[in-house]
């Protein structure tokens, strides 16, 4: 059934009708909204704050795709599988890695300019990877991607509802009714792209987090209450390298590319105690263990930490791939190319989420999920650079499928 297209007439009704309603304006929601609109749907995009308020815009390090001569989507898939400790959904992983190069070209068509080197992409190796595979836009990759997606959405026919958090979702005869802030929005299908919950989780635990304040997880709960299946929701990821000092950098996610370009973790005695480019959960655990056994250091305000020896990064690499990080530390009075910085793991990412199929549909027909709110693609341990990729690949898929179902 195609939902009859209606429009907002304040004199008659305060109810709005669309083919597809997307919840959340991070990379996954924007990709879904653009894709649904380009598939012919009338699209609404409701989000909690401003359109650019999301974790995606904070992402720095980069996005994975197999472009290296020694690389392949199959190798990429194997790395994801191994890093997930064989807990990922292999079908979703194959979609993720096989569509990665196409997703990059789609982003380029929308205006994203990935950093180039020697006539190709500048590729870095990230934790848990066997090949160099991380594309970057300096160290503001997420900002570049969300800006391009936002421009694409705003140049189409979709309608944005900022400051309109989803509070309630109910089934109707023709699809779904959503209460988003002061708006009541009807839609044939709904794409949930509201991200994870690490900001709330960290606040409740009294810990630091890299996350945006909007990452509170209530939309996952709304879907679960409606009967949607979830998986691995207990598997939260610590970013191994949260900023520990100076105070202004506490909770900052020091890009993993620092380690890709030569930085290593050191204990109080200046000894390397782990493979700095191991899978994230292993590196974080190694830091926790090192501090636990008394080989860590303390920040000036008494927090636990170890050293990240960033002085091993060459000035040339830092200038191209870490300019934002350098600027932030230097304005806090520390030059990472001249002295080691202090780091400790911080809550960062919700590995699990709503169960989806390869088109992003949850176990409830007509409700789709993509991005951090969905589970399975990373199993219980995500590799860096695969989240922005997941947002793009599955955002596009979910948007397209939601538009097709709304039109059926």
Catalytic residue annotation: 280
Distance CA 301, CA 167 (A): 39
Q: Is 45 in the site for ligand FAD (CB under 6 A)?
A: no
Query: For ligand FAD, which is the closer residue by CB, 236 or 266?
Result: 236
What SS3 state is found at 347? strand
Q: Is 49 in the site for ligand FAD (CB under 6 A)?
A: yes
Q: Is 142 in the site for ligand FAD (CB under 6 A)?
A: yes
Considering only residues 28, 97, 220, 284, which one is a binding residue for ligand FAD as defined by CB under 6 A?
28
Q: Backbone phi, then psi, for 126, in 5-degree steps?
A: -105, 170
C-alpha distances (whole Å) from 338 to each of 286, 307, 312 are: 25, 13, 9
Q: Is 62 in the site for ligand FAD (CB under 6 A)?
A: yes
Q: Is 202 in the site for ligand FAD (CB under 6 A)?
A: no
Considering only residues 63, 191, 254, 308, which one is a binding residue for ligand FAD as defined by CB under 6 A?
63
CB of 11 to ligand FAD, least distance (A): 27
Q: Are 346 and 205 in contact (CB under 8 A)?
A: no
Considering only residues 41, 42, 61, 379, which one is a binding residue for ligand FAD as defined by CB under 6 A?
61
Query: For ligand FAD, which is the closer residue by CB, 278 or 295?
Result: 278
Q: For residue 12, is it left (φ>0), alpha (ψ between -120 and 50) or beta?
A: alpha
Q: Is 241 in the site for ligand FAD (CB under 6 A)?
A: no
Query: Residue 13 corresponds to which tokens in the numbers above?
Result: 């009704």
Query: For ligand FAD, which is the closer residue by CB, 31 or 291?
Result: 31
Residue nearest to ligand FAD (CB): 26
Write the binding mask 313 to 352 for ligand FAD: x where contact by CB under 6 A, - elsewhere: ------------------------------------x---
Q: Is 147 in the site for ligand FAD (CB under 6 A)?
A: no
Size of residue set near ligand FAD by CB under 6 A: 46
CB of 321 to ligand FAD, least distance (A): 11
Distance CA 147, CA 285 (A): 35
Q: Is 305 in the site for ligand FAD (CB under 6 A)?
A: no
Q: Is 371 in the site for ligand FAD (CB under 6 A)?
A: yes
Which DSSP string do the residues of 373-404 spell out, in sequence order?
GEESSSTTSPPTTHHHHHHHHHHHHHHHHHHH
Q: Is 258 in the site for ligand FAD (CB under 6 A)?
A: no
Q: Is 166 in the site for ligand FAD (CB under 6 A)?
A: yes
Of residues 121 through 140, those in contact with ligand FAD by CB under 6 A are none
User: How would you label 43-52 residue by residue, b for 16+ Cβ within 10 Å and e otherwise?
Assistant: bbbbbbeebb
Q: Is 56 in the site for ligand FAD (CB under 6 A)?
A: yes
CB atoms within 10 A of CB 14: 11
Distance CA 136, CA 156 (A): 27
Distance CA 48, CA 46 (A): 7
What SS3 state is found at 73? helix
Q: Backbone phi, then psi, for 109, in 5-degree steps?
A: -60, -30
Considering only residues 34, 48, 84, 340, which one is a binding residue for ligand FAD as defined by CB under 6 A?
48
CB of 329 to ligand FAD, least distance (A): 15
Closest CA to 76 of 378, 313, 406: 378
The binding site for ligand FAD (CB under 6 A) comprises 23-29, 46-49, 53-56, 58-63, 141-142, 165-166, 193-195, 210-212, 214-215, 218-219, 253, 349, 371-373, 384-388, 391
């Amino acid at each position: 059934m195609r939902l009859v297209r209606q429009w907002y007439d304040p004199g008659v009704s305060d109810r709005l009708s669309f083919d597809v309603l997307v919840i959340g304006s991070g990379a996954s929601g924007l990709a879904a909204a653009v894709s649904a609109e380009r598939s012919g749907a009338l699209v609404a995009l409701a989000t909690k704050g401003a359109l650019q308020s999301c974790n995606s815009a904070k992402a720095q390090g980069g996005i994975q795709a197999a472009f290296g001569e020694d690389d392949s989507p199959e190798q990429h898939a194997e790395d994801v599988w191994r890093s997930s400790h064989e807990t990922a959904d292999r079908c979703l992983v194959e979609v993720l890695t096989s569509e990665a190069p196409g997703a990059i070209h789609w982003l380029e068509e929308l205006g994203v300019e990935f950093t180039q080197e020697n006539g190709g992409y500048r590729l870095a190796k990230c934790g848990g990877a066997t090949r160099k595979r991380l594309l970057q836009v300096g160290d503001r990759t997420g900002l570049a991607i969300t800006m391009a997606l936002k421009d694409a959405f705003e140049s189409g026919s979709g309608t944005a509802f900022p400051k309109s958090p989803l509070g309630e979702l109910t089934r109707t005869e023709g699809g779904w009714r959503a209460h988003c802030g002061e708006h009541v929005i009807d839609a044939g299908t709904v794409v949930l792209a509201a991200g994870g919950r690490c900001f709330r989780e960290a606040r409740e635990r009294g810990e630091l987090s890299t996350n945006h304040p909007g990452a509170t997880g209530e939309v996952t709960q709304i879907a679960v209450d409606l009967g949607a299946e979830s998986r691995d929701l207990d598997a939260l990821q610590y970013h191994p390298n949260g900023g520990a000092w100076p105070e202004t950098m506490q909770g900052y996610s020091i890009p993993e590319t620092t380690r890709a370009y030569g930085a290593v973790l050191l204990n109080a005695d200046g000894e390397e105690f782990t493979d700095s480019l191991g899978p994230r959960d292993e590196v974080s655990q190694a830091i926790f263990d090192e501090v636990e056994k008394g080989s860590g250091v303390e920040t000036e305000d008494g927090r636990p930490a170890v050293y990240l020896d960033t002085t091993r990064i060459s000035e040339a690499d830092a200038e191209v791939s870490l300019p934002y990080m350098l600027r932030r530390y230097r304005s806090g009075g520390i030059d990472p190319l001249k002295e080691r910085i202090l780091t400790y793991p911080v809550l960062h990412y919700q590995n699990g989420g709503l169960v989806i199929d390869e088109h992003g549909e949850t176990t409830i027909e007509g409700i789709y999920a993509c991005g951090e709110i969905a589970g399975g693609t990373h199993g219980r341990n995500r590799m860096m650079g695969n989240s922005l990729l997941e947002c793009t690949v599955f955002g596009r898929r979910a948007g397209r499928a939601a538009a097709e179902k709304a039109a059926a």
